[in-house]
Amino acid sequence: MNGSFYQNPTFPNAQSSNSTPITPPGNISFQSQMPLEQSLIENILRLNKGKKVKAYVSYPDSNEWRDKIYEGIIEEAGRDHLIIRDLKTNIWYLIRMLYLNYVEFEEAIDYNPDYSDTFD
């Protein structure tokens, strides 16, 4: 049906005695480094952990919480989330990055686009 456009891939037999584990090229050590994620925004948020921010968030499926602003300190940032602690109420918010529009910092931010000298 598909002619010669697509051929099923072939994989080496996993039980073959001649197979060797695949290792990434170069001399890469991840044990001593904080993991760098694909998202530059997440990396910037991690670099600025502990700083006071306003996170502007939109929930498109909610009429009551359509647009919301969270104010507080960045406690953690992950690939898909941001954790902010409100200084006034001491409430912690777990915010999905999916809903995050932008972040306002109330002080200078740390920014390193290549992260070459950020992590030891």
Tens-digit pLDDT profile for residues 5-34: 545 555 555 454 455 555 555 554 444 355
So what CATH class is 40-105? mainly beta
Alpha-carbon gap, residue 31 to 24, rounded angstroms: 15
100-120 pLDDT per residue, tens: 999 999 999 998 766 554 444
The CA–CA distances, whole Å, from 4 to 21, 64, 71, 72, 88 equal 31, 54, 57, 58, 65
pTM exceeds 0.85, yes or no? no
Q: Where are the domains of the chain?
A: 40-105
Residue with tokens 């953690």: 76
